[in-house]
Amino acid sequence: MSIMNLELKKVVDDSYDIEIGRHLQDTLVEDIKKGLVGSVRRFAVITDSIVNGLYAEAICEKLREQGYLVSSFVIPEGEKSKTREVKACIEDAMLEAGFRRDCCVINVGGGVVSDLGGFLAGTFGRGVPFLNYSTTLLSAADASVGGKTAVDTPLATNLIGLFNQPKKVYIDLATWESLDQRQLSSGMAETIKHACLGDYDMFTYLEKHMEEILSGDEESCGYIAEKNCQIKYQIVMKDERESGLREVLNLGHTVGRAIETVSDYRLLHGEALAIGMAAQVRLAVHFHTMTEEEAARVIALYEKANLPTGIPSYIDREELVKKLYTDKKVRDGHLRFVLQKGIGAIDEPNPGEYARLVSEEDAREIILQMPGI
Ligand SMILES: NC(=O)c1ccc[n+]([C@@H]2O[C@H](COP(=O)([O-])OP(=O)(O)OC[C@H]3O[C@@H](n4cnc5c(N)ncnc54)[C@H](O)[C@@H]3O)[C@@H](O)[C@H]2O)c1
């Protein structure tokens, strides 16, 4: 008998660029020509049924003009496509079309496409490179950056997935022009969350400039795109795998993710998050990490972005309380919430710990107190 030790210590460099601009399709093609993904010549463009005609087809065409082999895989738009089943369908279609390990995935769309496509890229052929071409404010603000990829399951959102970093992220601000008002508002939810957790000046900027942002003003949209990325990547660089600090990005998501599932996705991700943030600030007041005035400012800002801050009448509040236990921050069966400390900072109940134990009674009381809508 013997024991052998396989020494597999790794030094990994997953660094990548995030490019923010307008009409970045040609930039993407140029980057590929310059070797962004090595000598790969075959590309799987994953997109959804709305974004395909708007932006993805043009990217495919531009790549084909340069002699690359390109196939597109189009999923029905919306959260209900972010499943293991849809992932398997694309994988089968890719295999059928002759894709093997020597390919690259390009995700063109919002957070549904980048979460699903990034996960798929991490498992297809045991991992192929991928790029994110972000076309929603929500994905620019959050989903396209940071390397969390996942699919939803009937139990809850984002339960099965990988940490998998793209080779580059393109944030095309011009694509926001075709977003409808509801989607733009939904995107603001993560933006306001970033200000709440890390940047008081950004919060006051949003208070002053919300109307301009929602009407697509170039300067203010550029400002929030940069701020969002800065806040997110500074946290991800310190804690890629969410072993501590990255939990702060979960602000508002304990109730947010639960209500998104309980609503059966009638609520968009950002709308669910807005409700989760309204619950979170109430808890923060309860634990004296925020004043009532600060909590009211946060709720008012979400309302200014046309987002809901109460609980829709079709939601069963007791079911919502039970769903809180599907949250990934739950430890040993106990609920844990990330809470704000004032505006622009996060409560740190113990050194290096950013989520606080909350009893079911406290969580239920807050949920029952929330106004109905
Ligand atoms: N990985 C992460 O870190 C992370 C962070 C936050 C959210 N998310 C995930 O992101 C998802 C939500 O992202 P989303 O709001 O971008 O959803 P989405 O991808 O479903 O896009 C929203 C809608 O907008 C349409 N659309 C996309 N771009 C468009 C454009 N330019 N013009 C017109 N319509 C357009 C889509 O077809 C869809 O109907 C959720 O699944 C959420 O869990 C992930």
Task: Give CA 17 to chain center in angstroms.
Answer: 17
What letter would DSSP give residue 163? E
Residue 97 CB contacts under 8 Å (≥ 6 apart), including other chains: 71
Ligand 1 proximity of 50 Cβ (cutoff 6 Å): yes
Q: Helices in 66-110 by DSSP H: which ranges?
A: 84-96
Residue with tokens 């076309």: 135
Ligand 1 proximity of 152 Cβ (cutoff 6 Å): no
CB contact at 8 A, 208 and 163: no
Nearest CA to ligand 1 atom 22: 110
Is residue 242 scored above 90 in pLDDT?
Answer: no
How much is the mean pLDDT over the chain? 96
Q: Which of 81, 112, 233 is the pocket-test mutation for ligand 1 (most atoms within 8 Å of CB)?
A: 112
In a 3-state reduction of DSSP, which class is residue 42?
A: strand
Residue 43 — very low, low, confident or very high, per pLDDT cuts 50/70/90? very high
* Residue range 168-188: mean pLDDT, rounded: 97
What letter would DSSP give residue 103? E
pLDDT digit string (tens) for 180-207? 999 999 999 999 999 999 999 999 999 9
CB contact at 8 A, 36 and 168: yes
Q: How many angstroms separate the alpha carbon of residue 38 from the centre of ligand 1?
A: 29
- Backbone dihedral region of 12: left (phi > 0), alpha (psi from -120 to 50 degrees) or beta? beta
Nearest CA to ligand 1 atom 3: 143
pLDDT at 23: 98
Q: How many angstroms separate the alpha carbon of residue 116 from the centre of ligand 1?
A: 11
* Residue range 96-120: mean pLDDT, rounded: 98
* Residue range 299-321: mean pLDDT, rounded: 98
**Phi, psi (5° rounding) for residue 359?**
-75, 155
CB contact at 8 A, 152 and 235: no
pLDDT at 217: 94
Q: Tell me if the pTM is above 0.85.
A: yes
pLDDT digit string (tens) for 249-270? 999 999 999 999 999 999 999 9
**Phi, psi (5° rounding) for residue 80?**
-70, -10
Question: CA 147, 227, 142 angle in degrees (round to 5)?
Answer: 30
pLDDT at 240: 87
Structural domains of the chain, ranges and CATH numbers in brackets: 17-178 (3.40.50.1970), 181-369 (1.20.1090.10)
What letter would DSSP give residue 56? I
**Phi, psi (5° rounding) for residue 283?**
-65, -40
Percent of the chain with pLDDT over 90: 94
What letter would DSSP give residue 249? G
pLDDT at 11: 83
Nearest CA to ligand 1 atom 15: 138
Q: Are strands 69-75 and 42-48 parallel, antiparallel or unpaired?
A: parallel
**Phi, psi (5° rounding) for residue 145?**
-115, 135
Residue with tokens 């957790």: 197
Is residue 243 scored above 90 in pLDDT?
Answer: no
Q: How many angstroms separate the alpha carbon of residue 148 from the centre of ligand 1?
A: 14
What letter would DSSP give residue 272? H
Residue 77 — very low, low, confident or very high, per pLDDT cuts 50/70/90? very high
Is residue 9 scored above 90 in pLDDT?
Answer: no
The more confidently predicted of residues 8 and 43 is: 43
CA-based torsion, 282, 288, 292, 294: positive or negative = negative
Residue 10 — very low, low, confident or very high, per pLDDT cuts 50/70/90? confident
The more confidently predicted of residues 12 and 16 is: 16
**Ligand 1 atom, smallest distance to 257 CA:** 43
* Integer angstrom CA distances of residue 327 from 51, 253, 277, 341: 30, 8, 15, 21
pLDDT digit string (tens) for 316-361? 999 999 999 999 999 999 999 999 999 999 999 999 999 999 999 9
Is residue 7 scored above 90 in pLDDT?
Answer: no
Ligand 1 proximity of 77 Cβ (cutoff 6 Å): yes
